[in-house]
Structure 1
Amino acid sequence: MQSGDGHFGPFGISRRVLLAALPVLALAACQSKTAGDVLDPGGSAAAPEAKGAATPAPSAGPVPSAQTFGSGETKVFMLLPLSASGGMGEKGRRMFDAAKLAMADLGNQTITLSVQDTRGDSAVAKDLVVKAMTSGARVIIGPAELDAAQRLTSISGPTRPPVLVLAENFPGAPRLYAMALNEADSAAAGAAAIAQKGKRKFVLFVARSPIAGAIEKRVANGLSITGASIALTMPFDPVAEAEKAAADMLATVSTPEGVVIAIGDASPLPILRALKARGVSADKVAVIGTARWLEQPLADPLFQGSYVAALDKSEAGPIADRFKATYGYAPDINAIYAYDSVALTAGIAGAMGPKGFTPQILENRNGFRGSAGVFHFRSDGASERSMSFYRIDRGVAKKIANSVTGF
């Protein structure tokens, strides 16, 4: 099908399919609600701000069981921790609601979506991937558990379909594509944006974790584009070693031009406090946080003047409004990733059919426009996303640039 713009990009797909509002615009003539209606980039939602309270939880009700939606030719499996306890189960149920909304908007006629419950168990998730492979799935969405996603790297062979992984901080692997924004990419984009202003000597504070090396590599690569570099990387325990890390840094690099702090969901306040006590603060040195900072209140004056590269929530305005109207609570970023995963799958299936999920299509450099902005997948499974750049001012993250990247 030719899209309304009449222009075709690589692999015979219209450029609208590849870039504008996910690939689903190719369905405009086939559906009562077009993707242009669904993913209108002109949404008016406010920029990210410090969150004083958590997003309201989904309405109480029975835990959803495995269900199938749609009647399209393309079979898709979605693996979610629907019956898991605690925050993981809540995350799975938010994603489930997002998947239902995406199917109603875009997918019911193009894909058949089978949602399976991993129960938050990595072994169950791996078994469900094998089940999906033997059931003719053309693509798998999920799992949302990092351990489960990492287990999938041991499943290889030509029969394994591509997987759109929903787990946070999954770095990606060949044909295992990371949907969620990685903290490494946020840190790299923020550092690169500051380096473009002429800063050259950076220090990276990173929490000790399995992804610390990946964060250092991504930040170093992002800086190298501008000729800047990491003068020192300080792995540390953000809770117990902030004072020592700050002292050790200054013993080695007395005058950094930029300080990057990537410590996951830990509070950056201890290291910010320790640095300020030694004369290193945002009014003297460029302090760069990550998108994880926006998940907590920013009212403390120690945050003042810091920079963060993060997804622009205003991109998801129309979807967020409709989601809240449908389910009675606001979607979080994980629900947005789930929505985009189903929408992307439906778009490719509608434009290319069941055989359209090839590396050439999924890894196309033009990328896709989702409800959280433009992104594309690399051959190593990592995703690269365009982000907005924010400066924290009196407890609020205020946008100062529309599009920054660290790649």
Structure 2
Amino acid sequence: MSNAANLALFDTKAGNLRLTTYDSNGIGAATAAERAIAAGADLILGPLLAEDVRALAPVARRAKVPVIAFSNDASVAGNGVYIMGVTPAGAIDRVVRHVRGKGAARFGALVPSGLYGQRAAQAMQASVRAAGGQMVGLETYNRTPLAARGAAATLNRRGTFDAVLIGDGGTMVTALAPAVEAGPTLLGTELWANDRTLGRTPRLRGALYAAPPEARFQQLVTRYKARYGKTPYRLGSFGYDAMLLVARAARSWPTGRPFPMRMLTDRDGFAGVDGVFRFGSDGVVERALEVRQVTAAGTAVVSPAAASFGN
């Protein structure tokens, strides 16, 4: 992410900005933040992990230095902390609204036990309710194939569904999908976005999930490889887009003045590698996501991301 942020700084030619990297490994996120602020940092980009955001947030708040973190955990946002990660709630809401618009009315969900599953379940219930659909059944499971298939069998007995969310990723998805009875469209979360093997499972072909648009990221990959000689991690786009945002702010950010935090909640949002995004007053990112359909060969976009917010 550091390389991607530096590439954005180079691309924007923002000469009034200076980016310094502090490695929190070994010293901890809070100490890294203290050192950055002592050196004059007016804004902190990162970290990625929620526990690191929690550690440095009090340090940044005391110094009145805003944080743009790369986490997708909404619980760490707010009071000067903004998160850029694709949240389960955002991804689930986008795909639910898409299938509801196509006529789906009866929804089900399979989610793992634990914090992520709880958040996925809450997001699914809220999205279905907001879209005017009906939540017919929701089952949780311990993350073993046997328990997951048992939960799917229980869900199948709840009634008929138009769409069923599988709120999990990796091998659990391929274990669960064949256990869901034929008929309902399967829905996924942001965890599916970088899995290129989903289409190997026949029951997953035709499944839908939401993710940031990919076209501009591939352009970033080309420029990144030309400069650094390697392919960036997919999350590198967060570093690039965060730096683009800062470069935009720098146009009206007088030297020696605090970072203009009010611009972070601009309702028009910002255009980046991952499409348009904006922050709510709670510090949680809202993103314009595309809807992809799983195919035998990979994925196909069935609903492009919006180019702007309708406000």
TM-score per shorter chain, which class?
0.7 to 0.9
1:116 paired to 2:22: yes
CA distance in 2, matches of 1:259, 1:388: 19
Quote how far apart the aligned CAs of 1:161 are.
1.3
2:6 is matched with 100
1:316 is matched with 217
2:30 is matched with 126
1:228 is matched with 133
Distance 1:129 1:376, change over 3 A: same
The amino acid of 2:252's aligned partner reads A
1:352 is matched with 253
What is the CA deviation profile of residues 221-266 of structure 1, one whole-angstrom value per residue up to 9, with x for unaligned ones? 3333321143333222242411221122233x21122101111445
What is the CA deviation profile of residues 137-175 of structure 1, one whole-angstrom value per residue up to 9, with x for unaligned ones? 221001122321233454574523111112354554112
1:267 is matched with 172
Quote how far apart the aligned CAs of 1:269 are.
0.8
1:140 is matched with 44
RMSD: 2.4
1:330 is matched with 231
State percent identity of aligned pairs: 23
Secondary structure at the aligned position of 1:353 is classed as: coil
Match of 1:291 among 190, 200, 216: 190
Distance 1:250 1:302, change over 3 A: closer
The amino acid of 2:215's aligned partner reads S
Quote how far apart the aligned CAs of 1:309 are.
1.0
Task: Tell me if structure 2 keeps the 8 A contact 1:323–1:330.
Answer: yes
Quote how far apart the aligned CAs of 1:380 are.
1.4
Deviates more, 1:123-132 or 1:192-201: 123-132
Task: Tell me if structure 1 keeps the 8 A contact 2:95–2:187.
Answer: yes
2:288 is matched with 386
1:242 paired to 2:148: yes
User: Structure 1: where are the runs of 5+ without partners?
Assistant: 1-94
1:176 is matched with 81
CA distance in 2, matches of 1:96, 1:359: 22
What is the CA deviation profile of residues 319-367 of structure 1, one whole-angstrom value per residue up to 9, with x for unaligned ones? 2211122222222321111111112112212233354734421012111
Deviates more, 1:363-372 or 1:146-155: 146-155
Task: Tell me if structure 2 keeps the 8 A contact 1:312–1:388.
Answer: yes
Task: Tell me if structure 2 keeps the 8 A contact 1:153–1:173.
Answer: no
Quote how far apart the aligned CAs of 1:104 are.
1.4
CA distance in 1, matches of 2:45, 2:234: 16
Task: Tell me if structure 2 keeps the 8 A contact 1:107–1:342.
Answer: no
Distance 1:226 1:167, change over 3 A: closer
TM-score after normalising by structure 2: 0.88
Secondary structure at the aligned position of 2:165 is classed as: strand
The amino acid of 2:156's aligned partner reads L
TM-score after normalising by structure 1: 0.68
What is the CA deviation profile of residues 51-73 of structure 1, one whole-angstrom value per residue up to 9, with x for unaligned ones? xxxxxxxxxxxxxxxxxxxxxxx
Q: Bigger relative contact order, structure 1 or 2, given CA contacts below 8 A and separation 6+?
A: 1
CA distance in 2, matches of 1:229, 1:392: 25
Secondary structure at the aligned position of 1:400 is classed as: strand
Task: Tell me if structure 1 keeps the 8 A contact 2:213–2:305.
Answer: no
Quote how far apart the aligned CAs of 1:306 are.
0.6
What is the CA deviation profile of residues 203-228 of structure 1, one whole-angstrom value per residue up to 9, with x for unaligned ones? 12222232333323333333333211
1:206 paired to 2:85: no
The amino acid of 1:270's aligned partner reads A
Is the helix fraction higher in 1 or 2? 2
User: Structure 2: where are the runs of 5+ without partners?
Assistant: none
Secondary structure at the aligned position of 2:48 is classed as: coil
Match of 1:150 among 54, 70, 73: 54
CA distance in 1, matches of 2:203, 2:70: 32
Task: Tell me if structure 2 keeps the 8 A contact 1:186–1:291.
Answer: yes
